[in-house]
Amino acid sequence: MKPAQPPRSSADILATAPAAVWRDVDPDNLLVMTLPQGQVFIELAPRFAPAHVDNIRALARGGYYDGLAIVRVQDNFVTQWGDPNADDEDTGLKGKGKPFPAGAKSHLPAEFSIPLKGVPMTVLPDVEGWAPRAGQVDGFPAAADPKTGEAWLAHCYGAVGAGRGNAKDSSTGAELYAVIGHAPRGLDLNITVVGRVLKGMEFLSSLPRGGAAMGFYDKPEQRLGVERVSLASALPAEQRPALQVLRTDTPTWNELLNARRNRGGWFVHSAGYTDLCSAAVPVRIKPVPAPDVKLSEPKSPEAKR
Amino acid sequence: MKPAQPPRSSADILATAPAAVWRDVDPDNLLVMTLPQGQVFIELAPRFAPAHVDNIRALARGGYYDGLAIVRVQDNFVTQWGDPNADDEDTGLKGKGKPFPAGAKSHLPAEFSIPLKGVPMTVLPDVEGWAPRAGQVDGFPAAADPKTGEAWLAHCYGAVGAGRGNAKDSSTGAELYAVIGHAPRGLDLNITVVGRVLKGMEFLSSLPRGGAAMGFYDKPEQRLGVERVSLASALPAEQRPALQVLRTDTPTWNELLNARRNRGGWFVHSAGYTDLCSAAVPVRIKPVPAPDVKLSEPKSPEAKR
């Protein structure tokens, strides 16, 4: 009998995967946020939050986010950015905010879930407690409940959501947050998730934590500037980031997932399991074929683990 | 009929809890790490890793950690500190490391799990996929498997473990790491967990990420100094931090846990669930009773959420 094939590492699996397992990120769904410390690339999820994604596109096209600020960094929770002078029901601040550009709406429906029917989810083999079903949709971590017929995006590390006040439908996409700690899945179905960070998380996760309640910065001068937020489709072609996300309807994803569930090498014990948020879909910069058709090595956050 | 009592917030529950629900942290189990940016307080877990805890005490008493460095910060994973010149099987570096002080051992057994029998676990009502049983032991997040008869500490946010090489028993406690991202539970049962950060996580989680493979810093000058690591019991009485951890065998913990599982207020949906790592046991600075016996408000990471 031949011995069973030893499991390959994630890096090996990705390095030998054919080009067809990667999907180009639509530049109309890709937000490029420029901070003094670096660029953050966010893929928007129009399937789950069509009204918010439309509004974020209109806000970005109109230059709304340019010159705003990171106002809150709460350890093991979120980094949040927006207009520090926007209307705020807690502080009573009103009428001092930056006006919305033409085409952007000041009221949107809550988009906490969508009908499960027809959603192309790559279902995870493992069950977790947060939802009856979990898996990947368009590369985003998602969950579903066949009983209620709903599907929704999950608050995993890097998830980007639209801050809201006490009313369910009080988010507009003008104020956004990214998850920088252990997945706060209790937020699922409570707020509109609009996408996830594909690249540049370290520029949001390594910021000084805010000293006021909920991680807001105590003083205005502690806030960090947001220089510019653009849709990739609005950038000149040569400035557009060529990001790719692994397709999950591929043998490559299945092999990666099993390599994560059944660890080899340094590991002496394998859980034979993964939770949803420990199984992020890999991202890479699209390799440029050299004249001799030698592809450069894929770069991915997964490959480093 | 009287209406059901609305659930109280975590802050309210903690503010009104009697003093007896809090346990003083034993100064012989409390490591105080002084970094240029602030102090990190780590509670050691002698029940789970007696040999490592003994060795860490000997290393701290002998001044071993003083002047070492933070060598690795990998986004969504760990911050790691130790002697950059220690023997390393990957680089082949040997014999350049700082010698261990008297009383510290250079070889320890692996302490990945302990017998479950007799372990006083406050079992969580919810089931998760990583282990058949999960809960709190001495305030630490832990898991267990009644079939194998083992219990072990879980890699939740803030867990502190002893780095090892390829051999199971190659950790000594000289190199330590703290979890700074989504709980990497796949590490459970693969490495010795020695405790958890009670206070000061933000000084480990907000550091610049390392640019080399696995988040190591590329250049020696990027490393961040560790000024001093002391056992609280070795500090003069007036410098000893008076930290307290909530006891989990109390109605206060049950009420807190249920407030976390069943959210009110801003939340419109409640999962009726929590995973182990989303239910950290609160920590506070012991209040000093004023002459009029008015207690100062408890400070806790949970109270802010």
3-state DSSP percent of chain B in helix, strand and coil, to 5: 20, 25, 55
Residue contact A186–B271, C-beta within 8 A: yes
CB of B9 within 8 Å of any CB in chain A?
no
CB of A278 within 8 Å of any CB in chain B?
yes
Interface test with B, best of A76, A79, A166 (most B CBs within 10 A): A76
ipTM score assigned to the predicted complex: 0.93
Residue contact B76–A274, C-beta within 8 A: no
Q: With cut-offs at 50, 70 and 90, classify the pLDDT of residue A90.
A: confident
Q: Please tell me whether residue B180 adopts helix, strand or coil conformation.
A: coil
Residue B253: what pLDDT?
98
- CB-based contacts of B94, cutoff 8 Å, min separation 6: B87, B88
Residue B87: what pLDDT?
83
For residue A158, the chain B residues in CB contact (below 8 A) are 76
DSSP, res A45: -
- CB-based contacts of A209, cutoff 8 Å, min separation 6: A73, A74, A75, A215, B202, B205, B206
CB of A104 within 8 Å of any CB in chain B?
no
| Among candidates B182, B267, B269 on the partner chain, residue whose Cβ is nearest the Cβ of A277 | B182
Mean pLDDT of A5-16: 85
- Domains of chain B by residue range: 10-23+244-304, 26-242
CB of B255 within 8 Å of any CB in chain A?
no
| Among candidates B186, B206, B305 on the partner chain, residue whose Cβ is nearest the Cβ of A278 | B186
Residue of A nearest to B75 (CA): A202
Residue B302: what pLDDT?
38
For residue B199, the chain A residues in CB contact (below 8 A) are none
**B26-242 maps to CATH 1.10.600.10:** no
Q: Which two structure tokens, joined as six digits, stand for B77? A: 């994973």
Residue B289: what pLDDT?
72
Residue contact B266–A201, C-beta within 8 A: no
How large is the greatest C-alpha to C-alpha distance in chain A, in angstroms? Answer: 76
Q: Residue B244 class from Cβ within 10 Å (0-12 exposed, 13-18 middle, 19+ buried)?
A: buried
Tell me the DSSP string of B246-281: E-SSSHHHHHHHHHHHS--TT-S---S---GGG-PP
Interface test with A, best of B75, B78, B112, B217 (most A CBs within 10 A): B75
Q: Which two structure tokens, joined as six digits, stand for B183? A: 């709980």
Per-residue pLDDT tens listing for chain B (305 residues): 444 556 788 999 999 999 999 999 999 999 999 999 999 999 999 999 999 999 999 999 999 999 999 999 999 999 999 999 998 877 778 878 999 999 999 999 999 999 999 999 999 999 889 999 999 999 999 999 999 999 999 999 999 999 999 999 999 999 999 999 999 999 999 999 999 999 999 999 999 999 999 999 999 999 999 999 999 999 998 889 999 999 999 999 999 999 999 998 899 999 999 999 999 999 999 998 766 544 444 444 333 33
For residue B190, the chain A residues in CB contact (below 8 A) are 263, 266-269
CA dist., res. B72 & res. A37, Å (int): 19
Residue contact A273–B129, C-beta within 8 A: yes
For residue B126, the chain A residues in CB contact (below 8 A) are 129
Q: With cut-offs at 50, 70 and 90, classify the pLDDT of residue A127.
A: confident
Residue contact B269–A213, C-beta within 8 A: no
Cα angle vertex A206, ends A205, A208, to 5°?
110
Looking at chain B, the number of H-run helices and the number of E-run strands are 4, 17
pLDDT reading at A296 higher than 60: no
pLDDT reading at A294 higher than 50: no
For residue B157, the chain A residues in CB contact (below 8 A) are 76, 181-182
Residue of B nearest to A157 (CA): B182
CA dist., res. A261 & res. B129, Å (int): 12
Residue B187 falls in which region: left (phi positive, over 0), alpha (psi -120 to 50) or beta: alpha
- Homologous superfamily (CATH) of A27-243 is Cyclophilin-like (2.40.100.10)
Query: What are the backbone dihedrals phi and psi of residue A177, each rounded to the nearest 5 degrees, phi first?
Result: -140, 155
- Could you tell me how many residues make up chain B? 305
Among B52, B53, B111, which residue's Cα sits nearest to residue B233? B53
CA dist., res. B107 & res. B121, Å (int): 30
| Among candidates A126, A166, A213 on the partner chain, residue whose Cβ is nearest the Cβ of B266 | A166
Number of CB atoms found within 10 A of residue A16's CB? 10
